[in-house]
Chains A and B, each alone.
Chain A
Amino acid sequence: MSTEVPLLNVQIDGVWLQFPKGTRVIEACSKAGKFIPRYCYHPKLSAPGNCRMCMVELGMPKMGPDRKPIIGSDGRPEIAWIPRPQISCAQDIAEGMAVRTDSPMVQECRKGVMEFLLINHPLDCPICDQAGECRLQEFSVEYGQSSSRFLERKVKKPKNVELGPRVTLDAERCVLCSRCIRFMKEVAQDDVLGFVDRGGFSTIACHPDKTLESNYSLNTVDICPVGALTSTDFRFKMRVWFLKETKTIDVNDGLGCNIIIGSREGRIYRITPRENNDVNSNWIPDSHRLNFKYLHDESRLTFPMVSGKRSSWAEALTQAVNSIKASGNLAMVVSARLTNEELYLAKVLAIALGITLWDVLPRIGEPDGILIPADRNPNTSGAQILGLAGSEPGRQLPKIAEGIRDGSIKGVLSIGEDLTKCGLSPVDLGKLKSLVVVDLLPNATTAAASVLLPGSGWAEKRGSMVNIKGRLQRLNKAVDAPGEARDDWEILNDLATASGSALSLHSIEDVFRAMAQDTPTFAGLNLSKIGDLGLQLDPKPVAAVSSTATV
């Protein structure tokens, strides 16, 4: 390490430990295994120190007349304790500092703070969405009282206030920690929230001319330690303790925000960000987290079809291979929303069928300067590494479209893309002898398909993707695909086997192993090595394959 941070000696509950200079006392205590309760402190935001929950006893070395610490019999400095409690969130550690995290005075402080916070709290846990993951609930178990000493009437505050299109405020539950205010100011860069009124009437409010409509507004709901800010979408839908949490990644753009899917009995109820400091910190855009409902859409394709008629999987797969083989000149359009494993099998299939013309459909949008990049495909890098897209994704599409229009291409494999978005009309698609489509939802291409194979959505499958920064990340399965829909890799594997591929693959792990053998960038890796936080591949993976990219 070139920039060495000096380590400081800190005594925490009687044990001397070392932490890098600049560590906050609250973080040092956490690292020492002494969790300090907190409401306002959030590691990714500034520390205003306004909730007073994280108070501890602090001490500094006793100084002798020579301004040097007095060394005790144990060879460590003797401590002079500050006679009143201090907040630990806004305080950096110092050499020789001592902390008591659980002394009688500290306990007394926490009990006092809890009693004050609960004075006006409505105690409506049975209807509150935060119940089960509420800091106020947790700390009131540890430091609260079973009965209230408050005889006066509770202050009534506005409930069910729409702060913005996606966030609802219940001011009575608010503990005025200001996390949401600081988040909007510091991270979302849209300073719309603030405190109004004084004392017990103090409450969160939006700037009078504005609403909380930033594309990052729902992150305030995640960081709200109580149930004051709730997601209008998730509000009253499901109790959080029922939700099965699946660690996976978001597929709405090239960054691949790390997320947790909360699902119950095959239905997704909410998506929350998962901390990954190399990717998305603790945040995720609202547009991405709410974009999961199409997975439960009524119109999802649930059974295979041959020429518009329902068929069995065995028949559809045979028909698909036969019709595409018999059609003549072929092309393939794959989606850069597919996982590496699926892209790899798509390529295996293409080679088995003798296809040489293929590409992905690029999706480019305006970057938002915070998290969302220009590339809205989650796995463009993966497609490039696997040779399904060149350094300029989508370059072959006009050629494919032209070939279909002038009749030189007779058969097309479309895996997860709508060809009408590649510059083709439904009439053009009608000219094809064979159109084999794997997709989730009906569109113009699935309507024209000679064989239609229903695949799985991103939350319904396992696999890996490579984000724009060359980070290999893992998708995990949260829910089952509807009806007879199957995993895309299974479909592609069956098609490849029927087309004469000699690969014998029986699980997603097998696919990754085969892919890693054929692809130098993935050499030596497997799905479990990727881990929950992903794995940074060697820099510039794209340059390595640009020479072997599409024809």
Chain B
Amino acid sequence: MAYTVRRPNLTFWEKLYIPNIIAGLLITLKHLKKMLNGETKVIMQYPEEKWDSQLPEYYRGAPTLVKDDHDRERCVSCQLCEFICPPRAITITPGELTSESKFAKVEKAPKEFLIDMTRCIYCGLCEEVCPEQAIYLRKDYAITGENRAEMVHDKVKLYELGGVMHGLVHKWNPDK
């Protein structure tokens, strides 16, 4: 239902606008003066200069896969991230670990794990949903490539970016 919003009753000086324009210009001039004196620095020469050291721990960069302290792929290809991924950027081909494998008890590991970085929206739902703490959004944000195929991160690339995540996921420890 339509209803009427009352407009503010402006005074004569307010209707002129000129005092407000002058006030704004004064603020601009104040900043110009500070800049000329070298008190503030507003330009960063990206990409030679970066703010990477300032990124907070919770920064959401590119999703990556991690291995545990024993060099085990944490991912067991449960495909929950593939399911939850809003832009459907993740494609997993599940695979089976052979009985010769050191981690045969885990039985399952991804045969292939693809994340299409042209689709990824860095939402972090994959990290949140992962029951194995295998997928983490690290701090890489400048993901570039010369063609679409390069923008698809495969398993090798994902482990390269992810590295090792310490802290045990006790579940698969055969002695536990």
Binding site for B on A (CB under 8 A): 123-127, 131, 159-160, 235-239, 241-242
Contacts and interface: CB of A to CB of B under 8 A. Distances in A.
Contact of A236 (B82, B95, B105, B132): B95
B80 to A, nearest CB: 7
Nearest to B79: A239
Nearest to B130: A126
Nearest to A160: B107
Contact of B106 (A123, A127, A131, A242): A127
3 smallest beta-carbon distances between A and B, as pairs: A126-B78, A127-B108, A239-B79
A123 B132 CA distance: 12
Contacts of B171: 123-124
A20 B147 CA distance: 69
Contact of A131 (B78, B105, B107, B132): B78
Nearest to A239: B79
Nearest to A237: B94
B59 interface: no
Given A160-B99, A239-B83, A125 B131 contact: yes
B96 interface: yes
A236 B83 CA distance: 16
B85 interface: no
A236 B79 contact: no
27 contacts: A123-B171, A124-B171, A125-B78, A126-B76, A126-B80, A126-B131, A127-B77, A127-B78, A127-B106, A127-B107, A127-B108, A131-B78, A159-B107, A160-B107, A236-B77, A236-B94, A236-B95, A236-B96, A236-B107, A236-B108, A238-B79, A238-B94, A239-B78, A239-B83, A239-B94, A242-B79, A242-B82
Contacts of B107: 127, 159-160, 236
A379 to B, nearest CB: 37
B137 to A, nearest CB: 20
Contacts of B80: 126
Contacts of A236: 77, 94-96, 107-108
Contacts of A124: 171
A124 B108 CA distance: 11
Nearest to A235: B96
A159 B174 CA distance: 12
Contacts of A242: 79, 82-83
A238 to B, nearest CB: 7
Binding site secondary structure of chain A: loop
Interface string B64-100: 0000000000001111101100000000001110010
Contacts of A131: 78
A140 to B, nearest CB: 15
A236 B82 CA distance: 15
A301 to B, nearest CB: 27
Nearest to B78: A126
Which of A126, A235, A237 neighbours the largest number of chain B CB atoms within 10 Å of its CB?
A126
Contacts of B96: 235-236
Interface of B: 76-80, 82-83, 94-96, 99, 105-108, 131-132, 171
Nearest to A170: B107
Given A131-B78, A160-B107, A241 B99 contact: no
A493 B110 CA distance: 46
B114 to A, nearest CB: 14
A125 B77 CA distance: 11
B76 A127 contact: yes
Contacts of B82: 242
Contacts of A235: 96
Contacts of B83: 239, 241-242
Contacts of A126: 76, 78, 80, 131-132
Nearest to A265: B91
Contacts of A159: 105, 107
A214 to B, nearest CB: 25
B68 to A, nearest CB: 15
Which of A124, A127, A238 neighbours the largest number of chain B CB atoms within 10 Å of its CB?
A127
A486 B96 CA distance: 36
Nearest to B99: A160
A237 B106 CA distance: 15
B55 to A, nearest CB: 30
Nearest to B134: A126
Given A127-B107, A160-B107, A239-B83, 20 more contacts: A124-B171, A125-B78, A125-B131, A126-B78, A126-B80, A126-B131, A127-B77, A127-B78, A131-B78, A236-B77, A236-B96, A236-B108, A237-B94, A238-B79, A239-B78, A239-B94, A241-B83, A242-B79, A242-B82, A242-B83
A127 B99 CA distance: 16
Contacts of B99: 160
Contacts of B78: 125-127, 131, 239
B64 to A, nearest CB: 19
Contacts of B108: 127, 236
Nearest to B108: A127
Contacts of A123: 171
Nearest to A123: B171
Nearest to B172: A124
Contacts of B95: 236
A131 B76 CA distance: 13
A390 to B, nearest CB: 50
Nearest to B91: A265
A550 to B, nearest CB: 50
Nearest to B75: A126
A241 B82 CA distance: 11
Which of B95, B106, B107 neighbours the largest number of chain A CB atoms within 10 Å of its CB?
B107
A131 B132 CA distance: 15
A127 B78 CA distance: 6
Contacts of A241: 83
B11 to A, nearest CB: 63
Nearest to A131: B78
Contacts of A127: 76-78, 106-108
Contacts of B94: 236-239
B146 to A, nearest CB: 28
A399 B108 CA distance: 57
Contacts of B105: 159
B116 to A, nearest CB: 15
A239 B79 CA distance: 7
A49 to B, nearest CB: 33
A123 to B, nearest CB: 7
Nearest to B132: A126
